[in-house]
Structure 1
Amino acid sequence: MAQAGSFVPNATQLELEAMRRDKHAVALNSVFAAIFITGLKVVVGVYTGSLGILSEAAHSGLDLIAAFITFMSIRVSDKPADADHQFGHGKVENFSAFIETGLLLLTCVWIVYEAGKRLFFHGNIEIKPSIWAFVVMFISIAVDIWRSRKLKRIADKYNSQALEADALHFSTDVWSSSVVILGLAVVAYAQRTGTTWLMKADPLAALCVAGIVVYVSWRLARQTVDALLDAAPAGVRSKIIDHVSAVEGVLEIERVRIRKAGNHYFVDLNIGLSRQVTFQRSGLVADAARAAVRQVLPEADVDVIAIPRAGRGENIFDRIRGVATRNNWYVHDISIQEIDGKLHVEQHVELDERLTMMQAHDLVTRLEADIRDEVKEIDSILTHIESEPARIEHTQRIESDAKLEKQLLAIADRFKEIHDMHDVEFKRVGGRLYVSCHCTFDDNMTLSRVHEVQTELEIAFKHAHPELFRVLIHPEPATDARR
């Protein structure tokens, strides 16, 4: 058990530490391997005079620089986001890959230049394809296979573009080294047989190396430029739209923006929700949208903005509530009548009980104007203003009045729709008498009819007993009347 005050890292922190450790270790191993291979190729290339080996040595030398840049960039890119770099430091990986592309292209320029001179101007340069040249190239191939596989495994595991660039370099080194071996073998054969035209095989092999490097550079350049210019990964945007569209409550998707920094994705998402949706519900839908995005891009940083929109199936009641909700007011008991071909609206609005009559009337007048402006078919509006409680009412005592309860039960018995009335309670709040009760109805009775019966029962109670200030009736289905 950890001691009090000690820091216990959570699972996410441990995973981040493991990622940094793995990436740093494989990048550092790549640097050491590049130093070893570059040194061998330089020595054997100078000894043999082979342009193919020297071009490979230059290629490996730039690979060494690239490996060092990769190692340093990973150390920086793995730093967490801060106040000055709010999206983290992942772009450093993309930038280092871009630099590696430039270095590879510089290698190609030198190789092509030297090959051209040997092919057309200095054809008598002597090449010594000794056994050591072949040994070094085979060692180079073995080391390149080993480190490219390790780099690719870690790059895939942590989606690192810098390590992927390194792995791509070293995997192509295998092919370019094979081309050099072939060139040296042909030159050795030419020297033994006296076939002079085959002596051009070494500079031709060097040109093949340059061609491979250009191809690799082009692939890498496209990836790094796309990342630096925040290009969305191919097909990912449409997948995100498909997944988010399936989230319940999402009416439309207005914008999807994707950017990548290092191995981390950032997604900005604007979704349209019904304007009738509560603030809390909109938060739940936004969470579901984030989860849908992470089905496509796991671990992505997703920012969701919910925008209220008129629903496709809105009726006139929904449109009235939509205007009220936009102003953060609650309207209820909306009634619409058609009088002489014109629509008349009656509604109840709850406002803060601390407002004055003038303040409340001004707010309601503005609300009515907004409703008529948006719902053109409405001719007139009459609003009942209710006070919305802003304080907790303290109950003075609970009344027990068996006689009054019996009289109320007798009144409820006159309503054939009510199967049973139970749990009758009386309270004295602020000197006024409150009554609450539970009534059971048919399971299949419509809510509108239930409300009508409740209203009639409330009127009957207050008519028979004017001392009742407030009546609260809780309706229940007949088959489940004790919840």
Structure 2
Amino acid sequence: MTASDNRTVLRLAFWGIPLSLSVMGLKLLAWWVTGSVALLSDGLESLVNVVAAVIAYAMIGYAAKPADAGHPFGHHKAEYFSAVIEGVLIVVAALLILWEAVPEMMAPSLLNAPALGLAINFGAGVVNALWAYVLIRAGEAHRSPALSADGHHILSDVVTSAGVLAGLVLAIATGYAILDPLLAVVVAGNILFQGWTVISRSIDGLMDKAVPVEEEEAIKQAIAAAAGGSLGVHDLKTRQAGPATFVDFHMVVPETMPVGDAHDICDRIEDAIRAVHPGARIAIHVEPEGEKAHGVRVKTTASRV
């Protein structure tokens, strides 16, 4: 990720804080106007969005710090901690919603000023939908786990809001007040699922999961095209740490090849990999012919390993 990318991601994370506060305020206003426990559940989820936005901003800023003596590979994984915390907060929000909804199911009540409350909540949902789109696109473009997690969380909030609005309209039309707390329970279930999804994605990153298959294939092709002069490449490993991609492998060369020539091949391969994966961190172990190949191999034009 370039310095410009870092600034863009950090700026988006910052603006997520006041925007989340505004949306939360609108949703809680809708609850206050109507007394709907389903709208309260929607507002509580937005409270999580506010906390998550603050954490994301802090972690993205920390992750952008350059490598130092204590962290020679950088601070990229800090974003995953943000996403894990957000996932946990999502689960907490779901439990709070259930805490409110279950007693209400025992004694459901009709809503106050439903039209005004629904209109306010609808407006908040539109704002959220637009912001979720921006965050998800930016998270993918800049390879930011924190922005992506935030965007998908807000998108789940939008889906939740749409379901709540549709259900409350049905409750008002039919007079079945119990639909309100039932909707809140459904919302809680959806939020629990989203929380688990965010946590599991982040755990993959913390556990040094390899890059997606299609990306690894592109890396292999780049190596194969640029490895002329070597005798083969093996033990290819990749991992993703936030926006950073790490690639390392062994390259076999003839025993008589000068170090300078081997170094030139390495430079060529590194340029080829960075052409398909800008900013990739690459480590190449050069070894003489005769070493036993192991791990993932890359077939080159002169492969003997």
Q: Please say whether Structure 1 and Structure 2 have the same fold, judged by a TM-score greater than 0.5.
A: yes
Per the TM alignment, residue 295 of structure 1 is displaced from its structure 2 partner at its CA by 4.2
User: 2-side partners of 1:170 and 1:228: how far apart?
Assistant: 23
User: 2-side partners of 1:86 and 1:249: how far apart?
Assistant: 31
Q: Point out which structure has higher relative CO (alpha carbons under 8 A, 6+ apart).
A: 2
Does residue 205 in structure 1 map to residue 189 in structure 2? Answer: no
Partner of 1:173: 157
List runs of 5+ in structure 1 lacking aligned partners: 1-11, 192-197, 313-483
Q: Provide the TM-score with structure 1 as the length reference.
A: 0.56
Look up the equivalent residue of 2:283 and give its one-letter code.
D
Partner of 2:211: 233
State the secondary structure of the residue aligned to 2:237.
strand
State the secondary structure of the residue aligned to 1:306.
strand
Matches within 5 A, 1:252-271: 252-271=232-251
Does structure 2 retain, via aligned residues, the 8 Å contact 1:253–1:270?
Answer: yes
Partner of 1:34: 20
Q: Which consecutive aligned stretches of 4+ in structure 1 deviate over 6 angstroms post-superposition?
A: none
> Structure 2 residue aligned with 1:91, among 54, 59, 77?
77
Does structure 1 retain, via aligned residues, the 8 Å contact 2:52–2:150?
Answer: yes
Per the TM alignment, residue 213 of structure 1 is displaced from its structure 2 partner at its CA by 2.0
> Structure 1 residue aligned with 2:268, among 263, 288, 294?
288
User: 2-side partners of 1:267 and 1:213: how far apart?
Assistant: 36
> Structure 1 residue aligned with 2:174, among 190, 196, 199?
190
User: 2-side partners of 1:112 and 1:289: how far apart?
Assistant: 55
Does structure 1 retain, via aligned residues, the 8 Å contact 2:29–2:117?
Answer: no
> Structure 1 residue aligned with 2:97, among 103, 111, 128?
111
Does structure 2 retain, via aligned residues, the 8 Å contact 1:112–1:210?
Answer: yes
For residues 288-341 of structure 1, what are the alpha-carbon distances to aligned partners after superposition, in whole Å with 9 as ceiling and x for unaligned? 2223333442220111111111399xxxxxxxxxxxxxxxxxxxxxxxxxxxxx
Task: Assess, with a 3 A threshold, how the Cα gap between structure 1 residues 57 and 133 changes in structure 2: closer, same or farther.
Answer: same
State the secondary structure of the residue aligned to 2:235.
strand
Partner of 1:63: 49
Matches within 5 A, 1:378-393: none
User: 2-side partners of 1:245 and 1:272: how far apart?
Assistant: 13
User: 1-side partners of 2:192 and 2:274: how far apart?
Assistant: 36
Equivalent pairs counted in the alignment come to 290
Task: Assess, with a 3 A threshold, how the Cα gap between structure 1 residues 40 and 292 changes in structure 2: closer, same or farther.
Answer: same
Does structure 2 retain, via aligned residues, the 8 Å contact 1:44–1:132?
Answer: yes
State the secondary structure of the residue aligned to 2:72.
coil
For residues 189-236 of structure 1, what are the alpha-carbon distances to aligned partners after superposition, in whole Å with 9 as ceiling and x for unaligned? 123xxxxxx322212222332233233223322221111111112314
User: 2-side partners of 1:154 and 1:124: how far apart?
Assistant: 42
Per the TM alignment, residue 242 of structure 1 is displaced from its structure 2 partner at its CA by 4.2
For residues 246-282 of structure 1, what are the alpha-carbon distances to aligned partners after superposition, in whole Å with 9 as ceiling and x for unaligned? 4213333332222322211122222222222221111
State the secondary structure of the residue aligned to 1:199.
coil
User: 1-side partners of 2:31 and 2:269: how far apart?
Assistant: 59
For residues 338-361 of structure 1, what are the alpha-carbon distances to aligned partners after superposition, in whole Å with 9 as ceiling and x for unaligned? xxxxxxxxxxxxxxxxxxxxxxxx
For residues 123-173 of structure 1, what are the alpha-carbon distances to aligned partners after superposition, in whole Å with 9 as ceiling and x for unaligned? 334432522211221111121022112222322331111111111122222
Look up the equivalent residue of 1:133 and give its one-letter code.
G
Does structure 1 retain, via aligned residues, the 8 Å contact 2:109–2:177?
Answer: no
State the secondary structure of the residue aligned to 1:305.
strand
Greater helix share, 1 or 2?
Answer: 2
Task: Assess, with a 3 A threshold, how the Cα gap between structure 1 residues 253 and 27 changes in structure 2: closer, same or farther.
Answer: same
Q: CA RMSD in A?
A: 2.2
Q: Provide the TM-score with structure 2 as the length reference.
A: 0.87
Does structure 2 retain, via aligned residues, the 8 Å contact 1:286–1:305?
Answer: no
For residues 37-73 of structure 1, what are the alpha-carbon distances to aligned partners after superposition, in whole Å with 9 as ceiling and x for unaligned? 1122223313322111111111000110001111111
Larger Rg: 1
Does residue 123 in structure 1 map to residue 111 in structure 2? Answer: no
Does structure 2 retain, via aligned residues, the 8 Å contact 1:101–1:220?
Answer: yes
Look up the equivalent residue of 2:255 and give its one-letter code.
R
Does structure 1 retain, via aligned residues, the 8 Å contact 2:229–2:265?
Answer: yes
User: 2-side partners of 1:44 and 1:146: how far apart?
Assistant: 20
Per the TM alignment, residue 238 of structure 1 is displaced from its structure 2 partner at its CA by 4.5
Does structure 2 retain, via aligned residues, the 8 Å contact 1:179–1:208?
Answer: no
Task: Assess, with a 3 A threshold, how the Cα gap between structure 1 residues 162 and 311 changes in structure 2: closer, same or farther.
Answer: closer
Look up the equivalent residue of 1:240 and give its one-letter code.
I
Does structure 2 retain, via aligned residues, the 8 Å contact 1:275–1:311?
Answer: no
Greater strand share, 1 or 2?
Answer: 1
Does structure 1 retain, via aligned residues, the 8 Å contact 2:66–2:75?
Answer: yes
